[in-house]
Structure 1
Amino acid sequence: MDYEQALEWVHSLPRLAAHPGVENTRRLLEKLGNPEKSLRFVHVAGTNGKGSATVMLASVLHRAGYRVGASVSPYVLEFRERFLLDGEMISRETLAQILTEVRAAAEGLRAEGWDSLVEFDAVTAATLLWFARERCDIVCLEVGLGGRLDSTNAVENTLVACIMCIGRDHTELLGDTYAAIAGEKCGILKNNCTVISYPAQPQEAMDEITLRAAKAHCPLVAPDLQDLHIYKAPAFENRVNYGGYDLVVPFPGVHQAYNAAVVVEAALALCEKGFDISDEAILGGIAGARFPARIEVLSRRPLVVLDGAHNPDGARALAATLRGAGLSGLTAVIGILDGKQPEEMLSALAPCFARVYTVRPDSPRALSAEALAALAKRHFPQVTACDSVEQALRLARGDAPEGLVVCGSLYLAAQARGLLTK
């Protein structure tokens, strides 16, 4: 297959399994020679903050001189973002070759009567096959959904497991309490790996993480917020001291300061396992990390901010960041997927926006612009439903004296970013 054919094949697979589990990926990896067995992992789960922590830690390890694979999910701009080696995306030609091999293995399983693979099974297998071929020293691997039943949980050699901020998302699959959701996320723990927890977990979630870590005989570290100081800085700059490390965090928001503290602790845990990571690598790696659509400032004059926050916790983090920058009366373009608690998201954003243009993101699960507008009118004084993202951006940019924010979905962020950066 060429690159386009490879993408067409992988996207043709079902998105969700009828019976979720890790067995699909294990069987696929076995057909491919179990490439994951030659790799070591930092496994990153949680509701919010997984991607930011993954790319920051991968940047630290690369700065320390290691050959680092990183896999993030979902991608924002291009499918190849899921396959990163030392910060660079896989080439189209190599990805086509890898996916061709994965397809052959999948068809072998189908011939044996195993026909339940989903898209993320194939993506995970391709990721691990490529990282093994490239002889990565370590892989920073972001969970797709949950943890216990996620495709990425087919890996075994987990040195460090990061449990990022726990929130109520995907409750139909993971449970409707913090404890239940945290339990699913902690399904990635392997015996004797070091567990690093986000420092501001809901207490119910933290209790479950503590219990699960003890059962797996895993040392548990949670950054102490008394050791974290956030400096006063210009809007959208994030300067933090954590445990004596003066950090320049490249992503705005207090939540990203907390994520950076997790990354520092993960790096220190890897040092205890034999990795040589200098203080300079920690400082320079965090400062040099890049990740689109995480309260990303595309322009300051006029102000244009793009954020992929797609659940209530993410919306609250965005709102807190905008308030911290002293901003109000902004104009927003918003698109939200069904099932993402849109009412709660809109309520969190209500103090920030005077004018809202609603759109339908490019996803079959997205709310229509009209349905979202009907909800938004309960929270914002001016609401307009738009036929397309292009129309919404055109109207919003002409009606944004205080600045423009595009938010609500990573699908929307992917559509809008290319249009806004032209």
Structure 2
Amino acid sequence: MRYDEALNYISQLSTNISQHRREYMETILGKLRNPHNNLKFIHIAGTNGKGSTANYISNILSSSNYRVGLFTSPHIERWNERIKINNVEIADQDFSEIAGLTKYAVEQMVLEGLEAPTIAQFLTTMALQYFNKMQCDVVVLETGCGGKMDPTNVISSPEVAVITKISLDHTNYFGNSIIDIAKEKAGIIKENTDTVLYPQSEEVTKILLDCCVSKNAKLQQPDFNKLIVMEQNIDRQIFSYKGYKGVEVTLLGKHQIENAIVALEAAEVLIKKGYKITENTIANGLKNTKWPGRVELLCKNPVFILDGAHNLDGIEALASLLKEYFPNKKIIFIYGGLRGKDNEKMIQVLAPLAERFFLIPYNYHRAVPPKEIAEKISSFMDNYKVCMSIEEAIKQSISTSVDGIVCVAGSMYYFKEFKDYFNHKEEKLN
């Protein structure tokens, strides 16, 4: 199977996560000799922060000289981004080879009367094969948008389960209440599993704590009251937490410090299990963590920020960060909406900070046409413009911004176009 054929095949698979069943994953992995049974895992679920936390943990382990697999989603530019070892993406040749093996197993299952997999099921199967083939010491496994029913939950008890911040999202699949969402995320907690929980609201905490008690899971929670933020600027943040002094992270926003602390707590659990992790390797791992599209600075003059906030909780965290970093400044927002999200409410959160909104079209099946968003927000604001293209939005935002600050938010599925633009900025602006 050629690389382009593999990408074409995968991109045409279903995205319907209601199809996810553990039994399906057990069947397809069984046909591939159960590669996951040879691996150790750190399993991560949550609504916001799980990708950043996964990268922090992966880098701590890599800095400690472990061979670390990392499985995350979605990708920004290339499908290969989802499957990495020690921060190196799977090579095209390996991707093609493993996609071919997985497709063969799928074809056998279809002949037996089973349905084709979803994209998430197929890629999870690929990742587990690759990590086993490459003899990873440990794998950091991020769930997609679920927990209990997520394809990654085919694994047995992990070395540590991590639950990041939970908020309302994907309600069409998991229920309309925060309790329903929490129960789904808690599904990765298994019997006797060491578990790290991000501090949550009282009702969410109760669900997670009850799950830990019922599973006899050993629980560890960060205490953010022990966090001292020592420095924050556009390039880095420095903080102290418990006995850790002067820890540096380059991901911006207090929420990224909190995610780093969750990763630090997970590292402490691993130390108790015998992992050779030190204070220095924790510090190095956190400092060297990069995570594209999370308050990513594409340009400093003007300040041009790319952020993946695509639900209300993420947008609120972004708004808080922008107020903190740019007090008394007005910001131009470039916004592309996703179907199934409360775009109207998210824009309302950003509106008090906004000089203007540029609403953009983009090529994705769940993209909301900008005119549709404009109709919904016209009742409470008029400082917006519907753009015909992303390039138009970029050029107009740069040329009209009063305070020289532009922020992109609403989805991750158009990030490649922004990155491509700024990679060729000089020729584009001429």
TM over 0.5: yes
Q: CA deviation at 1:116?
A: 4.0
Partners of 2:307 and 2:381 in 1: how far apart? 19
Query: Do structure 1's residue 120 and structure 2's residue 120 form an aligned pair?
Result: yes
Q: Deviations over 1:271-293 (max 9, x none)?
A: 11111101111000000011100
Map of 1:241 onto structure 2: 240
Partners of 1:194 and 1:414 in 2: how far apart? 37
**Inter-CA distance 236–310: structure 2 relative to 1 (3 Å threshold):** farther
Q: CA deviation at 1:413?
A: 2.2
Query: Do structure 1's residue 36 and structure 2's residue 21 form an aligned pair?
Result: no
Q: Deviations over 1:65-111 (max 9, x none)?
A: 10000011111121111011001101111100010000001101111
* Greater than 4 Å deviation, 4+ residue runs: 378-381
- Does the aligned pair in 2 maintain the 1:335–1:360 contact within 8 Å? yes
Query: Do structure 1's residue 416 and structure 2's residue 409 form an aligned pair?
Result: no
Partners of 2:237 and 2:315 in 1: how far apart? 18
**Inter-CA distance 95–379: structure 2 relative to 1 (3 Å threshold):** farther
Map of 2:280 onto structure 1: 280
Query: Do structure 1's residue 212 and structure 2's residue 214 form an aligned pair?
Result: no
Map of 1:189 onto structure 2: 189
State which drifts further: 86-95 or 176-185.
176-185
Letter in 1 for 2:67: R
Partners of 2:378 and 2:240 in 1: how far apart? 41
Map of 2:368 onto structure 1: 367
- Does the aligned pair in 2 maintain the 1:354–1:380 contact within 8 Å? no
Q: CA deviation at 1:401?
A: 3.0
Structure 2 counterpart SS, 1:252 = coil
Of all paired residues, the percent bearing the same amino acid is 31
Partners of 1:82 and 1:314 in 2: how far apart? 21
Map of 2:386 onto structure 1: 385
- Does the aligned pair in 2 maintain the 1:332–1:407 contact within 8 Å? yes
Letter in 1 for 2:347: L
Partners of 1:382 and 1:333 in 2: how far apart? 12
- Does the aligned pair in 1 maintain the 2:47–2:166 contact within 8 Å? yes
Map of 2:148 onto structure 1: 148
Map of 1:253 onto structure 2: 253
Map of 2:428 onto structure 1: none
Query: Do structure 1's residue 336 and structure 2's residue 340 form an aligned pair?
Result: no
Q: CA deviation at 1:252?
A: 0.8
Map of 2:409 onto structure 1: 407
Q: CA deviation at 1:17?
A: 4.8
Q: CA deviation at 1:379?
A: 5.2
Structure 1 counterpart SS, 2:385 = strand
Q: CA deviation at 1:23?
A: 1.9
Map of 1:296 onto structure 2: 296
- Does the aligned pair in 2 maintain the 1:298–1:421 contact within 8 Å? no
Partners of 2:126 and 2:49 in 1: how far apart? 24
- Does the aligned pair in 2 maintain the 1:141–1:152 contact within 8 Å? yes
- Does the aligned pair in 2 maintain the 1:354–1:381 contact within 8 Å? no
Map of 1:11 onto structure 2: 11
- Does the aligned pair in 1 maintain the 2:106–2:116 contact within 8 Å? no
Map of 2:314 onto structure 1: 314
Letter in 2 for 1:237: R
Partners of 1:265 and 1:362 in 2: how far apart? 39
Q: CA deviation at 1:336?
A: 1.2
Map of 1:59 onto structure 2: 59
Structure 2 counterpart SS, 1:125 = helix
Letter in 1 for 2:138: I
Map of 1:174 onto structure 2: 174
State which drifts further: 154-163 or 261-270.
154-163
Partners of 2:401 and 2:25 in 1: how far apart? 47
Map of 2:161 onto structure 1: 161
- How does the TM-score come out when normalised to structure 1? 0.97
Letter in 2 for 1:230: V
Q: Deviations over 1:229-280 (max 9, x none)?
A: 1124324632221112232122111111110110000000011111110111
Partners of 2:39 and 2:60 in 1: how far apart? 18
- Does the aligned pair in 2 maintain the 1:43–1:142 contact within 8 Å? yes
- Does the aligned pair in 2 maintain the 1:24–1:116 contact within 8 Å? no
Q: Deviations over 1:27-67 (max 9, x none)?
A: 11111110000001000100000100001110000000100
Map of 1:398 onto structure 2: 399
- Does the aligned pair in 2 maintain the 1:148–1:185 contact within 8 Å? yes
Partners of 2:312 and 2:44 in 1: how far apart? 20
- Does the aligned pair in 2 maintain the 1:331–1:405 contact within 8 Å? yes
Letter in 2 for 1:279: E
Q: Where does structure 2 lack aligned partners over 5 or more consecutive residues? A: 425-430
Q: CA deviation at 1:358?
A: 0.2
Partners of 1:417 and 1:256 in 2: how far apart? 22
Q: CA deviation at 1:381?
A: 4.3
Q: Deviations over 1:356-384 (max 9, x none)?
A: 11012321111101111223444554211
State which drifts further: 363-372 or 79-88.
363-372
Letter in 1 for 2:45: A
Q: CA deviation at 1:18?
A: 5.2
Partners of 1:379 and 1:140 in 2: how far apart? 44
Structure 1 counterpart SS, 2:145 = coil
**Inter-CA distance 406–17: structure 2 relative to 1 (3 Å threshold):** closer
Give the aligned length: 421
Partners of 1:25 and 1:36 in 2: how far apart? 11
State which drifts further: 157-166 or 279-288.
157-166
Query: Do structure 1's residue 225 and structure 2's residue 227 form an aligned pair?
Result: no
- How does the TM-score come out when normalised to structure 2? 0.95
**Inter-CA distance 208–338: structure 2 relative to 1 (3 Å threshold):** same
State which drifts further: 184-193 or 127-136.
184-193
Partners of 2:380 and 2:53 in 1: how far apart? 32
